[in-house]
Amino acid sequence: MDMLSADERVAVTDYVKTGLAKLMPEPVVYPLSAKDWARSRDPASGMPELMAYLERFLARDRAQVILDNAAGDAGRTAAYLENNLGVRMHAYDLDIAELEQRINAVRDQLDTSKRKLDELHVRIDADAASIKNQIGLDLEAFARAFVAALPAQIDAVDANDVKAYLPAFIEDKFKEWAEIEGARLAAMLEHLAEQVIAITNENVAAAAAMLAERLGPEDTAIEISVDSFKYDIGIYAMGALGTTVMLFVNALAGGLLTIAAPIMAIILKSKIAGDIRIQAKERVPAAVLKAAEAMKPHFDKCIDDFARRLSEFVFNAGNTLYKGISEILDRTMSERREHAGGIAELKSATTQQIQQIRATSSALRQLREGLWASEDLPEAPGVGALPPDVS
């Protein structure tokens, strides 16, 4: 910022904010003049505002975020426990034979959902391969179109300009295409992720609905958490992926000249204008095609990394689904068999546990509301309203 005029600073700041706004809501940007701050502690350098923000974030906002996340996780755990206990309460009203029949029906649906999730891995691999093929065709088409356009571009400029600007021209065109193709790739991968996530959620919902229908009381909504992956995948596709593409494009920029070095050396050593143009038209197309070949593995790696993350999500979702519901079914059946003659006592103890968990959930909700309702952090004693441990 030290090198910019006042108008330029405003323009640069607006540009950065606009770019960041595509990745995150209301980005915080602090333009700094490090030179002014180091020289005279100038209040207009932007440093006081940044320091105030960091102090606020480290002293208060960060603590609020951590507490809010912890309370949110605790709330989800409490909801899972309440659902589990609700299933057990409903199971107490069934005889063993009917309970086994209902549990078997839930397990059938669970196996079906798990099998469909496992089949998603094949689809992810197939779609990733299709996307790689499409990117490869786009890259080949770009390289051939670039090669076809080069002779006219070379003939249209002075020979000295060919010497001076041809390497940078090739570099800029590759970077420009890669940035556009990177955005297109991000859109294709995000579309794939949305489809996979939708199918995953449908199968998780089907298994959970069967459990609620067969074993859950009317007011119980069984939930199996598979993480907030939609947000993560969107950020990764549109943000981190674009960054990955840009990093390898910028790294490749110098590599383009390395690939083309022998050819460029011939051009740069030529003394006659006509010879320069001839050499350029004869030699540069091969360098362009070679650079395109060097670019493809980088795009392939981006796609493979993304597909791997998506497959890991499906795998974890399937395991979470199967483990979560199986634990409920196994615990319910084992308790009925072990305490067949003490149903009344089990009901009383479970009812008490449900009440304690509901009180805990209510206290957690109040805690989260209080975190953001005041400018001050909640005092530690206020957390003591949580009910006693129900373990």
In order of their start, the domains of the chain are: 94-340 (1.20.120)
CA–CA dist 236, 190 (Å, integer): 9
SS3 5: coil
Q: Which one-letter amino acid corresponds to residue 26?
A: E
User: Between residues 314 and 160, which one has the greater pLDDT?
Assistant: 314
H or E stretch covering 373: helix 343-373
Residue from 280, 284, 288 nearest 159 by CA = 280
Residue from 287, 225, 223 nearest 258 by CA = 287
Exposed/middle/buried for residue 233 (C-beta within 10 Å: 0-12, 13-18, 19+): buried
Residue range 236-256, pLDDT digits in tens: 444 444 445 555 555 554 444
Residue range 43-97, pLDDT digits in tens: 777 788 888 887 877 777 777 888 888 888 888 888 878 877 888 888 888 888 8
Residue range 108-124, pLDDT digits in tens: 888 888 888 888 899 99
84-88, 334-338, 382-386 — which is least confidently predicted? Answer: 382-386
Biggest CA-to-CA distance, the chain: 104
DSSP line for 94-121? S-HHHHHHHHHHHHHHHHHHHHHHHHHH
CA–CA dist 52, 50 (Å, integer): 5
CA–CA dist 177, 78 (Å, integer): 51
Q: Which one-letter amino acid corresponds to residue 257?
A: L
User: Residue 134: pLDDT band by 50, 70, 90 thresholds?
Assistant: very high
CA–CA dist 163, 264 (Å, integer): 8
Task: Give the side-chain half-sphere CA count within 13 A for 107.
Answer: 12
User: Do residues 168 and 282 lie in contact, with contact meaning Cβ atoms separated by under 8 Å?
Assistant: no
Residue range 174-185, pLDDT digits in tens: 878 887 888 788
User: Do residues 234 and 190 lie in contact, with contact meaning Cβ atoms separated by under 8 Å?
Assistant: yes
CA–CA dist 206, 108 (Å, integer): 11
3-class SS string, 131-151? HHHHHHHHHHHHHHHHHHHHH
Residue from 326, 355, 324, 334 nearest 91 by CA = 334
Residue from 159, 146, 136 nearest 267 by CA = 159
CB atoms inside a 10 Å sphere around CB 282 = 13
CA–CA dist 208, 214 (Å, integer): 10
CA–CA dist 362, 358 (Å, integer): 6
CA–CA dist 62, 202 (Å, integer): 35
CA–CA dist 71, 383 (Å, integer): 11
SS3 266: helix
pLDDT of residue 349: 87
CA–CA dist 193, 236 (Å, integer): 11
Check residue 15 and report its DSSP letter: H
**Residues in contact with 245: Cβ distance below 8 Å, sequence separation at least 6, in sequence order:** 178, 179, 181, 182, 185, 298, 299, 302
User: Do residues 170 and 256 lie in contact, with contact meaning Cβ atoms separated by under 8 Å?
Assistant: yes
Q: What percent of the chain has pLDDT over 70?
A: 76
Residue from 13, 42, 45 nearest 29 by CA = 13
159-163, 264-268, 342-346, 373-377 — which is least confidently predicted? Answer: 264-268
pLDDT at 272 over 80: no
Q: Helix 159-215 to helix 261-269 angle, to the nearest 10 degrees? A: 160
Q: Which two tokens stand for residue 23?
A: 């990745």
DSSP line for 353-368? HHHHHHHHHHHHHHHH
Residue appearing with tokens 């502690």: 41
